[in-house]
Amino acid sequence: MQIEKPYLMFIGDVADQLAAKTAAGIVDWRRDWCVGQLRLPGCKADLGIDDVGIAEAGRRGAKTMVIGVVNAGGVLPEHWIRSIVEALDAGLDVASGLHTRLEDVPQIAEAASRNGRQLFNVRIPSINFATGKGTKRTGLRLITVGTDCSVGKKYTALALEREMREQGLDADFRATGQTGIFISGRGVAVDAVVADFISGAAEWISPAADPSHWDVVEGQGSLFHPSFAGVTLGLLHGSQPDAFVVCHEPTRKTMRGVPAALPTIRQVIDATIASGRLTNPRIQCVGIAVNTQALDEAAARACLEEIAAAEGLPTTDPVRFGVAEIVKRVKALF
Amino acid sequence: MQIEKPYLMFIGDVADQLAAKTAAGIVDWRRDWCVGQLRLPGCKADLGIDDVGIAEAGRRGAKTMVIGVVNAGGVLPEHWIRSIVEALDAGLDVASGLHTRLEDVPQIAEAASRNGRQLFNVRIPSINFATGKGTKRTGLRLITVGTDCSVGKKYTALALEREMREQGLDADFRATGQTGIFISGRGVAVDAVVADFISGAAEWISPAADPSHWDVVEGQGSLFHPSFAGVTLGLLHGSQPDAFVVCHEPTRKTMRGVPAALPTIRQVIDATIASGRLTNPRIQCVGIAVNTQALDEAAARACLEEIAAAEGLPTTDPVRFGVAEIVKRVKALF
């Protein structure tokens, strides 16, 4: 899979900023690759880059239109098809992170064929995985877990990769979702793997490595989310992490998309250790990453201090304050 | 999906009896539907029914050859293709519980087309599920869980359905694997569902029902199996059971297929309650089903008594002694 850069970011008419988190993540980590955003009337998200039409995107050199949104079920809304066909007619490839296969929409398949363009479905794995084995592999692994979905697990993993490298560790981000794959150019969307192979896919993503090498695995979902906990658990077992970081959003009142209560950070630490020790008895929590975007700086600092005091672990907002303290902890422990 | 009966049971040259558990389950619960078994040289399993060739199966009225085996990954061995083509040429349909889609093998697709026969892949869901919602549904639900894979979860669920009906309860078995689908004629192979939709599929399998109606959901895997725990957890969350029965095989030394230790029955009870209360806070264990096939009757009785005393719950071997005591407990509690 080789998706050509730069990208035109298509976010349609999504209902909120969270629904455009794929696109926002790509812009945050690979801004140079994004020539602009294409939004439809009524769009409630904004990537903070130029609004461009397809023609202007072409003039700016765009090679691929990225459908950078998530929605429950990952279905492609019918009224987006027209924009996708226009992009193909303008000579762009199209890459999607939705569950719907682009080529399963006849107008899109025809337009791609007519223009000799490529369609990419990063969320649909093209590999046949084995079932997980649970056997301990060489190398060190860290995974990000969450009190909920959409709380910063990918951001935290990417920030940890960057900081670990800066502090002299040999580390690689391992993408498990569409955004991570767009950012790193490899990985597997584990939520799209056939359920029998979740832990096997996680083992494939993070193969045996040098004893001092760190894989920083992007977590998915939450052990406490009634829709997705199975994915979270399979990924945890297959990753067999030595270390994990809990990600949290302090203003969230209910689990994303469902009327369920949020677990506490302590519940997530305990459940992750209880489940994770099945494939790695040494698993331990090395820090807490709090998404304080909704708080002002004073409130954010107070929130981090309170959590750090309660849990006795390095606690930070990776976007605001970096993850240096967590990586120092990792270096001290391993 | 309408699979025509009676069946010719194909078990190939599988390496042990457990690998033929799909076929054995169908024979145990629907013996009248099975005209005989077809085994290849070297087969280590025996269904205890007549060995017949394809021609003889046809004379006995077989309408469908059932590929009744499980193997890690669910792949179709190449040397079985010839038997499948022969069955199609003899006018039989073919139904498979493997992950491999029969029509993806060109010789099989051609033979089916040439003879106007149907191919069924009961393990490959044909429905687009929604993601799980976690919202409490009306009706009562019981799920079977296990200390391991292949310990009798399906048998126990089928025995509970039969006994509940005999004791006057309104109960339906809900199939979540290929054997159960062959036996009950409906259901979803949840291990073949895309990971994002495991709990959503479980919600679909067991919809809202009359407040006094019992769905008896066939469990899958084990929360303690490093290959499949994600499936188990998603199914548990989607089923939101009021009650569960722990299934156990007392002579098993390691988890099936992997070098991992077995959990205790108590660990399974605790982990199931801890995880299950996310979608049903009232979840409780109502009994223990022990597969004592490997023990003589005295040893079996001693084993059951020991477990019953330790856990304080009705404990039985469903095959040997039935599940009347567990159903009495259910009636007393709900």
Percent of chain B exceeding pLDDT 70 equals 98
Report the DSSP pairing between strands B7-12 and B34-39: parallel
Token pair belonging to A156 = 């935290």
3-class DSSP state of A112: helix
Contact B195 A231 (CB under 8 A): yes
Q: Which residues in chain A have their CB less than 8 angstroms from residue B192's CB?
A: 194-196
Q: What is the pLDDT of residue B4?
A: 87
Are A250 and A156 found together in one domain?
yes
Are B80 and B144 found together in one domain?
no
Contact B199 A132 (CB under 8 A): no
Are B12 and B157 found together in one domain?
no
Interface test with B, best of A70, A75, A178, A194 (most B CBs within 10 A): A194
- The residue ranking higher by pLDDT, A25 or B55, is B55
- The C-alpha of B115 sits at a distance from chain A's nearest C-alpha, in angstroms, of 29
Is B320 part of a structural domain of the chain?
yes
Are A115 and A222 found together in one domain?
no
Are A161 and A212 found together in one domain?
yes
Is A131 part of a structural domain of the chain?
no
Token pair belonging to A79 = 């009224």
* Sign of the alpha-carbon torsion through A114, A117, A120, A126: positive
Report the DSSP pairing between strands B243-248 and A93-96: unpaired
Token pair belonging to A74 = 């990952």
Residue A93 DSSP label: E
| Nearest CB to B191 within list A196, A257, A275 | A196
Token pair belonging to B160 = 């509970």
Chain A 180-219, CB below 8 Å of chain B: which residues? Answer: 190-196, 198-200
- CB-based contact, A167 to chain B, within 8 Å: no
Is B79 part of a structural domain of the chain?
yes
Is A50 part of a structural domain of the chain?
yes
Are A112 and A194 found together in one domain?
no
pLDDT band at residue B1 using 50, 70 and 90 as cut-offs = low
Is A258 part of a structural domain of the chain?
yes
CA dist A30 → A5, A229, A263 (Å) = 10, 30, 33
The whole-angstrom separation of Cα A183 and Cα A33 is: 10
| Sequential pLDDT tens for chain A (334 residues) | 678 889 999 999 998 998 998 899 899 888 999 999 999 999 999 999 999 999 999 999 999 999 988 766 667 889 999 999 999 999 999 999 887 889 999 999 999 999 999 999 988 887 889 999 999 999 999 999 999 998 999 999 999 999 999 999 999 999 998 889 888 877 899 988 999 999 999 999 999 999 999 999 999 999 999 999 999 999 999 999 999 999 999 999 999 989 888 999 999 999 999 999 999 999 999 999 999 999 999 999 999 999 999 999 999 999 999 999 999 999 999 9
The whole-angstrom separation of Cα B73 and Cα A199 is: 12
Q: What is the pLDDT of residue A99?
A: 77
Listed residues B91, B121, B151: the one ending a domain: B121
Interface test with A, best of B100, B193, B194 (most A CBs within 10 A): B194
- Residue found under tokens 């600092």: A301
- CB-based contact, B230 to chain A, within 8 Å: yes
Q: What is the pLDDT of residue B166?
A: 97
Are A114 and A26 found together in one domain?
yes
Is A305 part of a structural domain of the chain?
yes
Contact A196 B192 (CB under 8 A): yes
Are A319 and A173 found together in one domain?
yes
Residue range B127-139, pLDDT digits in tens: 889 999 999 999 9
This model of the complex carries an ipTM of 0.81
Domain span at residue A160? 140-333
* Residue B113 belongs to domain with CATH number: 3.40.50.720
Do A8 and A57 touch, CB atoms closer than 8 A? yes
The whole-angstrom separation of Cα A26 and Cα B91 is: 55
Interface test with B, best of A71, A135, A196, A258 (most B CBs within 10 A): A196
Are B192 and B87 found together in one domain?
no
Nearest to A256 by CA among A184, A121, A153: A153
* Residue A293 belongs to domain with CATH number: 3.40.50.300
The whole-angstrom separation of Cα A99 and Cα A173 is: 23
- The C-alpha of A48 sits at a distance from chain B's nearest C-alpha, in angstroms, of 30
Chain B's closest residue to A267, CA to CA, is B274
The whole-angstrom separation of Cα B243 and Cα B276 is: 10
Token pair belonging to A48 = 């903070």
- The C-alpha of A14 sits at a distance from chain B's nearest C-alpha, in angstroms, of 19
Contact A230 B226 (CB under 8 A): no
- The C-alpha of B173 sits at a distance from chain A's nearest C-alpha, in angstroms, of 22
Q: What is the pLDDT of residue A179?
A: 85
What is the tally of structural domains in chain A? 2
The mean pLDDT of B138-151, rounded to a whole number, is 96
Tally of CB atoms within 10 A around B139: 18
For A329, residues 6+ apart whose C-beta sits below 8 A from its C-beta are A286, A287, A313, A314
Are A94 and A223 found together in one domain?
no
Listed residues B58, B86, B121: the one ending a domain: B121
CB-defined contacts A:B, below 8 A: 143
Are A72 and A204 found together in one domain?
no
Are A200 and A155 found together in one domain?
yes
Least confident of A287-301, B99-113, B171-185, B316-330: B171-185
- CB-based contact, A73 to chain B, within 8 Å: yes
Q: Which residues in chain A have their CB less than 8 angstroms from residue B278's CB?
A: 224, 226, 229, 260
Is A283 part of a structural domain of the chain?
yes
Residue range B238-276, pLDDT digits in tens: 999 999 999 999 999 999 989 888 999 999 999 999 999
The whole-angstrom separation of Cα A83 and Cα A61 is: 18
pLDDT band at residue B279 using 50, 70 and 90 as cut-offs = very high
Q: What is the pLDDT of residue B72?
A: 63
Residue A153 DSSP label: H
Q: Which residues in chain A have their CB less than 8 angstroms from residue B233's CB?
A: 229-230, 233
The whole-angstrom separation of Cα B239 and Cα B134 is: 9
Q: What is the pLDDT of residue A54?
A: 97
Listed residues B121, B149, B175: the one ending a domain: B121
User: Taking chain B, what is the end-to-end CA distance rounded to the nearest angstrom?
Assistant: 35
Contact A230 B198 (CB under 8 A): yes
Is A134 part of a structural domain of the chain?
no
Chain B's closest residue to A234, CA to CA, is B230
